[in-house]
């Protein structure tokens, strides 16, 4: 059996293989009205195709814990029960195909209130369904973005509660994995990094203070998430800055903290918090960061970043660099990538009866 197609058990949840779908925003929900933030036909078709293609775990795109936590007005959300009902259609189908449904809970922070990327992705105001972003500090992401409102301690506590409430709704919607989005320059990541966190209170300055908000979110989600189901955390392992940013050493240290607070797997990405940072990309360019966490902590990890070939993914798992791979753009191009990789590597995935002629 190919290592890529061995099952993995986290707490009491067994995921049938190590080919997972990374969360990728579709920017396709209604921006306002009774169905704002709710998944629609596009989302169902999008995720259903990857489940039918044999993907072991699908982590549904960044889903906002509040309306102002959306990256764009067109993002998914879990701040009301109408959204819960809409998600059940997706989780039910994924489960019927043997795919584990997961969801990424998120808050956009200072990078919120932007347009759809195919329209340029620029910050937008109230005239285009936008709003005033918030952040740990009144420091804009770049010259295009507005100066965000610095969060008060009371608002920080409120957002922690919103993560917990969204996790409760995710459970009611049928999700089996909850992932906290702590990467790519969004709110949790903004608190972690000294590049974006200039606070002088208990939420800024020292490593312990800058990680406080993230750990409070983890504790709040873990408190409402069942003991037998796993919680993931997605992290940007480095800001890719020479100094003044979050580093790979910080990530290894923080992985130990996350493990102690009940996180079951670290989803290791990089970048997104420092505008203009130079990032040396290439096939598997982020895998070494995942491998370093895996070697230095007891926390399981998933690797991401230009993983496109079956043999490449197989080696990452077989060499012990990661416990799973999360594919992004490659699954957009090839919804049945897992089934094709299984054929190439001699593995096995569930094939829908309707597709039996493709075996």
Q: Are 84 and 171 in contact (CB under 8 A)?
A: no
Share of the chain above pLDDT 70, in %: 100
Residue 345 is predicted with a pLDDT of: 96
| Superfamily holding 3-358 | Aldolase class I (3.20.20.70)
Q: Are 191 and 181 in contact (CB under 8 A)?
A: no
Indicate if the pLDDT at residue 88 is higher than 80.
yes
Of the ranges 29-43, 177-191, 343-357, which one carries the lowest mean pLDDT score? 343-357
Could you read off the pLDDT of 39-54 as tens digits, one per residue?
999 999 999 999 999 9
Arithmetic mean of pLDDT over the chain: 97
Could you read off the pLDDT of 17-37 as tens digits, one per residue?
999 999 999 999 999 999 999
Mean pLDDT of the 46-75 span: 98
Could you read off the pLDDT of 321-332 as tens digits, one per residue?
999 999 999 999
* H or E segment and range at residue 15: strand 13-15
Catalytic residue among 186, 203, 285, 355: 186
Active site annotation includes 74: no
**In the chain, what are the domain boundaries?**
3-358
Query: Which structure tokens are listed for 182?
Result: 């702590």
Residue 287 is predicted with a pLDDT of: 98
Query: What pTM value is reported for the model?
Result: 0.97
**Nearest CA to 134 among 159, 160, 165?**
159
Could you read off the pLDDT of 253-290 as tens digits, one per residue?
999 999 999 999 999 999 999 998 999 999 999 999 99
Share of the chain above pLDDT 90, in %: 98
* H or E segment and range at residue 102: strand 100-106
DSSP string, 233-273: EEEES----SSSS--HHHHHHHHHHHHHTT--EEEEE---S
Residue 359 is predicted with a pLDDT of: 78
């Amino acid at each position: 059996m190919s290592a890529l197609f061995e099952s993995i058990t986290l707490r009491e949840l067994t995921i049938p293989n190590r080919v997972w779908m990374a969360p990728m925003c579709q920017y396709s929900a209604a921006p306002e009205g009774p169905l704002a933030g709710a998944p629609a036909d596009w989302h169902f078709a999008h995720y259903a195709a990857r489940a039918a293609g044999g993907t072991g775990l699908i982590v549904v795109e960044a889903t906002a814990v509040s309306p102002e936590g959306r990256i764009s007005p067109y993002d998914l959300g879990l701040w009301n029960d109408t959204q819960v009902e809409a998600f059940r259609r997706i989780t039910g189908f994924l489960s019927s195909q043997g795919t584990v449904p997961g969801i990424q809970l998120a808050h956009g922070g200072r990078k919120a209130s932007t347009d759809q990327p195919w329209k340029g992705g620029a910050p937008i105001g109230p005239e285009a369904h936008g709003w005033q972003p918030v952040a740990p500090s009144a420091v804009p992401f770049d010259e295009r973005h507005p100066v965000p409102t610095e969060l008060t301690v009371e608002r920080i506590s409120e957002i922690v509660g919103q993560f917990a409430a969204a996790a409760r709704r995710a459970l009611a919607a049928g999700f089996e994995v909850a992932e906290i989005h702590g990467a790519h320059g969004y709110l949790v990541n903004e608190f972690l990094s000294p590049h974006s966190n200039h606070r002088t209170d208990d939420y800024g300055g020292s490593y312990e203070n800058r990680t406080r908000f993230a750990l409070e979110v983890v504790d709040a989600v873990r408190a409402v998430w069942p003991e037998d189901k796993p919680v993931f955390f997605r992290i940007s392992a480095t800001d890719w800055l020479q100094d003044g940013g979050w580093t790979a050493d910080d990530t290894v240290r923080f992985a130990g903290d996350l493990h102690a607070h009940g996180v079951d797997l670290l989803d290791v990405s990089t970048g997104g918090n420092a505008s203009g940072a130079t990032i040396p990309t290439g096939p598997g360019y982020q895998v070494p960061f995942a491998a370093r966490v895996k070697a230095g902590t007891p926390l399981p990890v998933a690797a991401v970043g230009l993983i496109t070939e079956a043999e490449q993914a197989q080696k990452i798992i077989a060499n012990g660099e990661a416990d799973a791979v999360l594919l992004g753009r490659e699954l957009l191009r090839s919804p049945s990538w897992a089934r094709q990789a299984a054929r190439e590597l001699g593995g096995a995935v569930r094939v829908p009866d309707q597709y039996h002629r493709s075996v």
